[in-house]
Amino acid sequence: MLLFTPGPTPVPQNVRNAMSDETVHHRTPEFEAIFEKTRKHLFNLFNTDEVVMIASSGTGAMEAAVTNLCNDTLLNVNSGKFGERFGKIALSHGLNSVEIKNEWDTPVSVEAIVEALKTNPNIDAIAVQISESAGGLRHPVEELAKAVKKINPNIMIIADGITAVGVEKIDVTNIDCLIAGSQKALMLPPGLSILGLNNKAIEKIGAGKGYYLNLASEIKSQRKNTTAYTAATTLIIGLLEVLESIEKNGGVEKLYEVTAIRAEAVKASLKALGLHIYPTTPAKSITTIDDENASEIRKLLKEEFGVNVAGGQDHLKGKIFRINQMGLIPTYEIIWVINAIELSLAKLGRRKYDGTASRVFNEVFFEMEI
């Protein structure tokens, strides 16, 4: 079965092998050397002043960011399930929450953010997804961060890059905290999250908040290549293997380039089949199609063609399907996925099969690739 869900994504064989070695103790020079190397690669990936790894799924890093970087009111952008989660985290910690809510195909506008700041002077942090995985859209994070910093440079910008770090180059000039998670673009099993922090964020963190998710204690330990509590040793060993694989395959720039071209080629081929791209500003990490036959297409893909794509959640259940674009994806696999979509449409009597999807994919992908 080809796993094409936008998280978890497939774990490459060499990474699985690396993680199958004997368990190492985390307080040893051997593990500290692995930790140090991993950190070096992460600095290259994040381009932030500091990076911190936490043994938690992505939501743990979201919570750490909110509790350590927001003291009063969080402005969160809700164009999907993950954006909504930031508001719930703030409220659960007794912080105030202001939310800008849109349909899941609609990105937040910079004007709406500026307006919210005017009416709510207590906002001291903004949390937003770079790529909102619920509908596969891209928010204009860099533009809104720039606008916010012009108004008040002390307002913290928390950018959830769980489906963006490792997908595309992110300009972190005005971003204070950038979050990644292991099981999406980083091609690992779930259980590790990473925060990239800029100096302005580190200043605000000060002595930190909370206990397990206290970022001050983690920064202090991780600068010495260790962790405050037991490190997710196996996942960190896997992460180092992933980051070294990316280097061996031409580096992060090459990965961003191929991901962008593949996402373009998939969009073009699916449009050529008469399918509709759901978000108005699609992210490169995920291709989302809204379709009245979404459930039937997913079922055929899985049962007849060995392809597992994700459906929708909440009000989009049965209305969309989402195809992963993250990670080192073999080109022959994605060509099979779009061909299988065309075959499924033929089975549903929607159109005659004539190989359009593969032809358009090949034209776009290889024209740009070569």
Residue ranges binding ligand PLP (CB under 6 A):
7, 57-59, 82, 129, 133, 160, 162-163, 181, 184, 190
First to last CA, the chain: 29
Q: Please, what is the minimum distance in Å from the beta carbon of residue 133 to ligand PLP? A: 3
Which CB sits closer to ligand PLP, 12 or 161?
161
Report the alpha-carbon distance of residue 270 to residue 298 in Å, rounded: 15
Q: Which residues, other chains included, contact 169 with Cβ-Cβ below 8 Å and sequence gap of 6+? A: 252, 253, 256
| DSSP 8-state assignment for residue 178 | E
Does residue 296 sit in helix, strand or coil?
helix
Nearer to ligand PLP, 101 or 350 (CB): 101
Quote the least distance from Cβ 190 to ligand PLP, whole Å. Answer: 6
Residue 121's SS3 state is coil
Closer to ligand PLP by CB, 137 or 334: give it.
137
CB 242 within 8 A of CB 83: no
Peptide bond between residue 190 and the one before it cis (omega within 30 degrees of 0): no
User: Whose Cβ is closer to ligand PLP: residue 310's or residue 360's?
Assistant: 310
To ligand PLP, the closest distance from the beta carbon of 5 in angstroms equals 11
CB 52 within 8 A of CB 219: yes
For ligand PLP, which is the closer residue by CB, 166 or 269? 166
Q: How far is the C-alpha of 235 from the C-alpha of 35, rounded, in Å?
A: 11
Give me the residues paired with residue 214 across strands.
Answer: none
Nearer of residues 106 and 226 to ligand PLP, judged by Cβ = 106
The answer to whether the CB of 169 falls within 8 A of the CB of 190 is no
Strands, DSSP E only, in 278-337? 286-290, 307-309, 320-324
* Nearest distance in Å: CB 260, ligand PLP: 18
CB of 270 to ligand PLP, least distance (A): 21
Least distance in angstroms from the C-beta of 103 to ligand PLP: 17
Q: Which is nearer to ligand PLP, 124 or 160 (CB)?
A: 160
Q: Give the strand pairing for 131-132 and 156-160.
A: unpaired
**H helices present in 128-174, as ranges:** 141-151
| Minimum separation from the CB atom of position 87 to ligand PLP (A) | 13
